[in-house]
Amino acid sequence: MSDVKKVVLAYSGGLDTSVIVKWLQETYNCEVVTFTADIGQGEEVEPARAKAQALGVKEIYIEDLREEFVRDYVYPMFRANTIYEGEYLLGTSIARPLIAKRLIEIANETGADAISHGATGKGNDQVRFELGAYALKPGVKVIAPWREWDLNSREKLMAYCDEHSIPVDFSSKKKKSPYSMDANLLHISYEGGILEDPWAEAEEDMWRWSVSPEAAPDQPTYIELTYEKGDIVAIDGQAMKPHEVLEALNKLGGANGIGRLDIVENRYVGMKSRGCYETPGGTIMLKAHRAIESLTLDREAAHLKDELMPKYAKVIYNGYWWSPERKMLQAAIDATQDNVSGVVRIKLYKGSATVVGRQSAESLFDESIATFEDDAGAYDQKDAEGFIKLNALRLRIAAGKGRKQD
């Protein structure tokens, strides 16, 4: 007899997680609580309620977490200008700690002794969900069906549905998407299908959020982003909540062909994976944030942030959002943002987001010193001679000893 009495399942309402509900009920003879989160995936989440009810689920959680997602996860990540392996904006990675947190909170509220998820045994998400769960509730039991069952194909899943009278949309029985997709307010990802061949170009009709750069408008779109302490608070002077900012930037960026990415990344579990991503709003945010920092951050603080960023990105990608090292890095990053306020003007045009202006009351740019014209004595150019000689001292000594420089 199973020692699991109640389990909280991260439930999408799709084929896989619907099968998991029934499989948990039968395999563990336990009660299942479903949790469905709206983090901006662009699909209605309320239909998951009826599907869960049809499977005999009595406790059903459906929550709009869009504001919390962007405010407490996406924005803090973008303060660090975070990218993984030089390109990936971590759209899937950053959503997992929030889902893990709510799974544990719901488990505590309902008295559940286990949580479950539908991540496969090959990907990073199983690691992210479970590292988060263990960090927040060390004694929790985690059930990962894909690591236990033999339902390892869509055909077997459909046969299980037929055998157990699990209601599945007629359309999903007849039509299979060629891609595995994951979406939230920050991005949409595509894997599988022809993308498993790294040489094959993604089909144009795969992309859902953006037009191709070639089909984008022939006239540029200009926008102004207002920053306060490192976060965007307004677009074109209109105040917005964080999730509203990202929604608006996704539409603006997508309409101008911005944010498409095709990469091969190194997964934490050891394999390489080819994926395509659309991150229109995030692409704009990264450009704009670096622009306002260029005006307001001290040089050495900015350079140190750039040195810390790859470590911070790796921590998030690998699922350690709730770790002490991420919190330590976050504190250092956030401490740099007190004066990162002002306005950035961006030109959106045929796949590019170009910074064309920036201004700030906190600017460290001094025109009277930087000018190529007469600076009225603001900068004594003769000071440069001693500065250069002192910095060249070790080079001059080595050269004087006859050390080769090539």
pLDDT on residue 173 = 46
pLDDT tens for each residue of 58-81: 999 999 999 999 999 999 999 999
Strand order in the sheet with 260-266: 180-183, 188-191, 272-278, 260-266
State how far the Cα of 191 lies from the Cα of 195, in Å rounded to an integer.
6
* Average pLDDT value for residue range 243-254: 98
Residues of the chain with CATH 3.90.1260.10: 182-297+336-359
Which residue among 72, 113, 180, 363 is the active-site one?
Answer: 180
pLDDT on residue 376 = 73
pLDDT on residue 20 = 94
Say if residue 179 carries a ligand binding annotation.
Answer: no
Residues of the chain with CATH 3.40.50.620: 6-65+92-176
Say if residue 165 carries a ligand binding annotation.
Answer: no
218: annotated active-site residue: no
Percentage with pLDDT > 90 across the chain: 82
16: annotated active-site residue: yes
pLDDT tens for each residue of 151-175: 888 889 999 999 998 877 644 444 5
pLDDT on residue 176 = 58
Pick 6-65+92-176's CATH classification: 3.40.50.620, 3.30.70.580, 3.10.180.10, 2.40.160.10: 3.40.50.620
Say if residue 12 carries a ligand binding annotation.
Answer: yes
Confidence of residue 177 (pLDDT cuts 50, 70, 90): low
Find out whether 91 and 184 touch, Cβ atoms under 8 Å.
yes
Which pTM value belongs to this model? 0.93
Quick one: which of 359, 361, 344 has its CA closest to 222? 344
Q: Looking at the predicted structure, is the pLDDT value of residue 406 above 90?
A: no
Say if residue 121 carries a ligand binding annotation.
Answer: no
Q: Looking at the predicted structure, is the pLDDT value of residue 295 above 80?
A: yes
> Coil, strand or helix: which one is 139?
coil
Confidence of residue 179 (pLDDT cuts 50, 70, 90): confident
Listed range (96-100, 204-208, 305-309, 398-402) with the worst mean pLDDT:
398-402
State how far the Cα of 121 lies from the Cα of 124, in Å rounded to an integer.
8
* Average pLDDT value for residue range 313-322: 98
Q: Looking at the predicted structure, is the pLDDT value of residue 268 above 50?
A: yes
Q: Looking at the predicted structure, is the pLDDT value of residue 8 above 70?
A: yes
Which residue among 16, 72, 262, 334 is the active-site one?
Answer: 16
For the CA atoms of 103, 108, 110, 113, what is the dihedral angle to 10 degrees? 80
338: annotated active-site residue: no
Quick one: which of 9, 7, 134, 1 has its CA closest to 62? 9
pLDDT on residue 174 = 46
Superfamily (CATH H level) for 182-297+336-359: Argininosuccinate synthetase, chain A, domain 2 (3.90.1260.10)
Which residue among 66, 79, 96, 102 is the active-site one?
Answer: 96
Confidence of residue 307 (pLDDT cuts 50, 70, 90): very high
State how far the Cα of 299 lies from the Cα of 369, in Å rounded to an integer.
16
Q: Which helix (H) or strand (E) holds 232?
A: strand 231-235
* Average pLDDT along the chain: 93
The string over 61-89, giving b where at least 16 C-beta atoms fall within 10 Å of a residue's C-beta and e elsewhere, is: bbeebbebbbeebbbbbbbbbbbbeeebb
Residues, the chain: 406
Listed range (211-215, 279-283, 392-396) with the worst mean pLDDT:
392-396
Say if residue 189 carries a ligand binding annotation.
Answer: yes
Find out whether 82 and 314 touch, Cβ atoms under 8 Å.
no
pLDDT on residue 180 = 86
Beta-carbon-side half-sphere exposure of residue 367 (alpha carbons within 13 Å): 1
Which residue among 38, 79, 125, 182 is the active-site one?
Answer: 125
Find out whether 15 and 154 touch, Cβ atoms under 8 Å.
yes
Find out whether 7 and 28 touch, Cβ atoms under 8 Å.
yes
State how far the Cα of 173 lies from the Cα of 377, in Å rounded to an integer.
77
* Average pLDDT value for residue range 186-201: 95
298: annotated active-site residue: no
pLDDT on residue 118 = 92
Confidence of residue 389 (pLDDT cuts 50, 70, 90): very high
pLDDT tens for each residue of 106-144: 999 999 999 999 998 888 999 999 999 999 999 999 999
Say if residue 75 carries a ligand binding annotation.
Answer: no
pLDDT on residue 382 = 86
